[in-house]
Chain A
Amino acid sequence: MQPLVEMKNISIAFGGVQAVDDVSITLYPGEVVGLLGHNGAGKSTLIKILSGAYKMDSGEIWINGEPARIQSPRDARDYNIETIYQTLALADNLDAASNLFLGRELVTSLGFVDEDRMEAETRKIMARLNPNFQKLNEPVSALSGGQRQSVAIARAVYFNAKILIMDEPTAALGVHETAMVADLIQELKKQGLGIFLISHDTREMMELCDRVAVMKNGQMIGTERVEDVTEDDILSMIILGKNPKAAA
């Protein structure tokens, strides 16, 4: 099968820090690939290169078997790449609908922003993602952490992504909401999306992902199918920075 995304030999440094060092990773349609590693391992930086937030120093990105040029978040959107950032990237002073459609506002035939239609659409998608969500007309700064996260998730899901990047999407969510995100991931996977998922919860990752990749100090330690490894194998990869299977 044709890979959806191939990131080949990606490197990027910030000042003296080699945040991502010659990392390669692939993603197939309908697949969930988990990225694991300590804080500072380079996971967020790697996916920010794919989402156009950072420009890599060297390496190549291929999408659907063709070389892709991703220089800005706008380019990434053109490839149907949607991202839920670890920081959520919400404008706190705006309401949920304004955030959901930020940069892609619905407009009337006269070219004015159609607030009512945006609110109606936001109601629809929030009803699906988080039925408890009420505060549509308040700035998102007035929302709880979980509600803010739902807004960020809604924004990524609404625009028919083909490639979805989720950087710690459940960090601020309660048990119930986390389960809903897990269901959502399963549903999107069935629709054929490819998903990069970052999380610190190794057990959750073993359940949700098809493959997991472990990073340490900017380097890729290894990528394994979840059936082939135990949770302990993964933990030792994260801590020791060595792939026990490769060594064997």
Chain B
Amino acid sequence: MSTDTTDTTQTAPAPRKRSIFETLELDTRLLGMIGAFILVALIFNTLTDGRFLTPRNIFNLTIQTVSVAIMATGMVFVIVSRHIDLSVGAVLAACSALMAMTQVRFLPGTVGLEIGHWAIPWITIAVGIALGALIGAFNGWLIGYHGIPAFIVTLGGFLIWRNVGWYQTGGQTIGPLDQTFMMFGGINGTLGGTISWVICAIAVIFTIFAIFNARRTKLSHGFIVKPLWAEVTLAAISTGAIVGFVAILASYKVPDRVVARDPGRFGCEVAEGCAPVYGLPISVLLLIAIAAIMTVIARKTRFGRYIFATGGNPDAAELSGINTRLLTVKIFALMGVLCAIAAVVASSRLANHSNDLGTLDELRVIAAAVIGGTALSGGVGTIYGAILGALIMQSLQSGMAMVGVDAPLQNIVVGMVLVAAVFIDIQYRKRLGS
């Protein structure tokens, strides 16, 4: 441990001039990742003559990222606790298969609910989540209580679950899925302009409130807070980001031919003069909600803190009275639940279930978490980092596809980016001395 360097700074407490980032208390790693993302976006935008940064492409990029990003938030907890889950893509397929069979065959056929019954999507999602939780808990039990390495348990799961899905469907593609269910998939479920702007306003008010409420609490405990201008700047940047994001999605117009097919869907009597926009996709809202919940779990609940403590020092966690075995079960069960939710998004985006859904997702999800700064040695990782990691990966892939890079070269680039990201991260940590 490099205690030497930190000690010298401590014995010389001369008030050093603080950089602007320090005053704002912004995470330099977060800034680095946002910078990398912007760089990638700008490069592809130049290479595609401006086709990369159109509302349409940004819309597609976000909805393509959601499923992997949802699982990546759970993978952060798995990796932080020094485990790994190689089975997420397979579990996604198994959950998707069960949900497809439930909504297309079982509920309308065996139970006899009429097609389009309001309860079908909700029963389906509950069943899928239950299966995900069960598979995850079972994995966690083998790992936590029986000491089988997570690598082995989930490598087995990788081979098992997709094929269990195959037997559920007989290998067939199952569809079309329920109309309401498909609202979670992206282009089939968007909120339109008005509601998007209402949500935007709520988000802005909430963000500003959260920033100043945190300041008030800190002051009431007599802690040092950052200067008021710094808080205001932070609030302004956050507001700008939220408004900008919504503005882009709300400027993506529904093509005329789609409106002509069913003007009623967009609240118009006739297609003439009806110029609807897509606005926020429900799947993106779902991801934002999951990210918020997972962040609260990580920072504000005992469960989340024990995950980080166990990852930092398993012996210390055990000696502090934490039940690390049960904790492992909970972590993997949560991962399974997130796989099931990702399965809802992934299958409804494609409007049906096919057996190869989520193939290679385990690698994308792990890469997203790792690019986002989650350390495989345990104890370190953030939810927002993993989501940004997923977004960067997806941008690279879509961007290269748009530019027309050969598929093999695409994989070579993604592989190199993964290794380079971890390399930079390790150098950064060394410099910080932690």
Cβ-based interface call for A120 (8 A):
yes
B379 nearest CB neighbor, chain A only: A93
Q: Which A residues are CB-close (under 8 A) to B54?
A: none
Q: Which of A61-100 contact B (CB under 8 A)?
A: 72-74, 77, 83, 85, 87-94, 98-99
Q: Which of B122-130, B305-313, B387-395, B418-426 contacts A (4 or more CB under 8 A)?
A: B305-313
Q: Which A residues are CB-close (under 8 A) to B312?
A: 91-94
Cβ-based interface call for A244 (8 A):
no
- CA A115 to CA B299, docked complex, whole Å: 9
Q: Which of B95-103, B269-277, B315-323 contacts A (4 or more CB under 8 A)?
A: B315-323
Total interface residues in chain B, CB < 8 Å: 35
Q: Check if A93 sits within 8 Å of B221, measured CB to CB.
A: no
Total interface residues in chain A, CB < 8 Å: 40
Q: Which of A38-46, A135-143, A212-220, A226-234 contacts B (4 or more CB under 8 A)?
A: A135-143
- CA A167 to CA B25, docked complex, whole Å: 38
Cβ-based interface call for A245 (8 A):
no
- CA A88 to CA B222, docked complex, whole Å: 30
Given the contacts A87-B315, A91-B379, A145-B3, A98 and B217 also touching, CB distance less than 8 Å: no
Q: Mark A178-217, 1 if CB is under 8 A from B, else 0.
A: 0000000000000000000000000000000000000000
Q: Which B residues are CB-close (under 8 A) to A89?
A: 313, 315-316, 319-320
Q: Check if B221 sits within 8 Å of A120, measured CB to CB.
A: yes
What total of A-B pairs shows CB separation below 8 Å?
101
Q: Mark B1-44, 1 if CB is under 8 A from A, else 0.
A: 10100110010000000000000000000000000000000000
Cβ-based interface call for A134 (8 A):
yes
Q: Check if A113 sits within 8 Å of B320, measured CB to CB.
A: no
- CA A72 to CA B1, docked complex, whole Å: 30
Q: Check if A117 sits within 8 Å of B221, measured CB to CB.
A: yes
Q: Check if B321 sits within 8 Å of A103, measured CB to CB.
A: yes
Q: Which A residues are CB-close (under 8 A) to B317?
A: 91, 102-103
Q: Check if A94 sits within 8 Å of B301, measured CB to CB.
A: no
Cβ-based interface call for A173 (8 A):
no
Cβ-based interface call for B229 (8 A):
no
Q: Check if A116 sits within 8 Å of B301, measured CB to CB.
A: no
Q: Check if A113 sits within 8 Å of B305, measured CB to CB.
A: yes
Q: Which A residues are CB-close (under 8 A) to B313?
A: 89-93
Cβ-based interface call for B434 (8 A):
yes
Q: Which A residues are CB-close (under 8 A) to B316?
A: 88-91, 99, 102
Kindly list 19 other residue pairs between chains A and B, CB separation below 8 angstroms, not including A72-B321, A89-B320, A138-B434: A53-B318, A73-B319, A73-B321, A89-B316, A90-B313, A91-B308, A93-B379, A94-B308, A94-B309, A98-B305, A99-B316, A102-B317, A103-B321, A113-B299, A116-B223, A119-B221, A139-B434, A142-B3, A144-B10
What are the 6 closest A-B residue pairs judged by CB atoms, nearest first?
Answer: A93-B312, A103-B320, A91-B312, A93-B379, A74-B321, A89-B316
